[in-house]
Amino acid sequence: MTDRIRIAPSILSADFAAFGAECEAIEAQGADWVHVDVMDGHFVPNLTFGPAMVKALRPHVKTVMDVHLMIAPADPYLAAFAEAGADVLTVHVEAGPHLHRSLQAVRALGCKAGVALNPATPAEAIEYLLDDIDLVCVMTVNPGFGGQGFIGSQLEKVRHLRAMLGDRPVHVEIDGGVTPETAPLVAAAGADVLVAGSAVFRGGSVANPAPYGANIRAIRAAAEAALRAPEPV
């Protein structure tokens, strides 16, 4: 699945008063996906928004709406987020007692099924679910806040996951601390979807979106350069 790097800006770093326009701006500037972080103030120490906001954003997103549920329990809300327009629904391993059932429910609702691994959650936690997922999200920061530093120990987890997945058509997504400096590391390890918040939105605005495009291109170029680099001897 590393044939192409996809950049998924996280709107957690966008202007909250102009979410719809921000989604349109990042897509116009080259974003492949739009990453929507849903937080409940319980599973993570922050509170963002729910299905109503996702539904309001949907008309402004023409690409892929990648909805990351940092909530527990997640199961009671899957249908609401699917109906709101999510294309990908990602739940955390720890967000419910029956992860396999949660993933089945996501697919039954017509969404791609994602599973997220916190920094302390081992790759082996999803070893027996690899045929039931469309995406695995490796958290390279602790979930809950944007702007955190990249946790380098997760690179080995990415490599391990890519080996475990084999030729399965499953995306490996990185969420947290993605910059032009860290993008090559995660791409070389096997990631193909890069979530970036502050690194995309820094320096720009709806009125001046050009920096968004420059930031997206810088992250993409750095990641793709790593894929073209020769294997070490």
Helix (H) or strand (E) holding 202: none
Sheet containing 171-175: order of strands: 6-9, 193-196, 171-175, 135-139, 112-117, 88-92, 64-70, 33-39
For 117, the 3-state DSSP assignment is strand
For 205, the 3-state DSSP assignment is coil
Q: What are phi and psi of 47, to 5 degrees?
A: -130, 125
Q: Name the one residue in this structure whose structure tokens are 């699945």.
A: 1
**Residue 72 near residue 50, CB atoms below 8 Å:** no
For 193, the 3-state DSSP assignment is strand
For the annotated catalytic residues, the residue numbers are 37, 175
Q: Name the one residue in this structure whose structure tokens are 């995309």.
A: 200
Alpha carbon distance 202, 211 (integer Å): 7
State how far Cα 75 lies from the chain centre. 19
State how far Cα 27 lies from the chain centre. 15
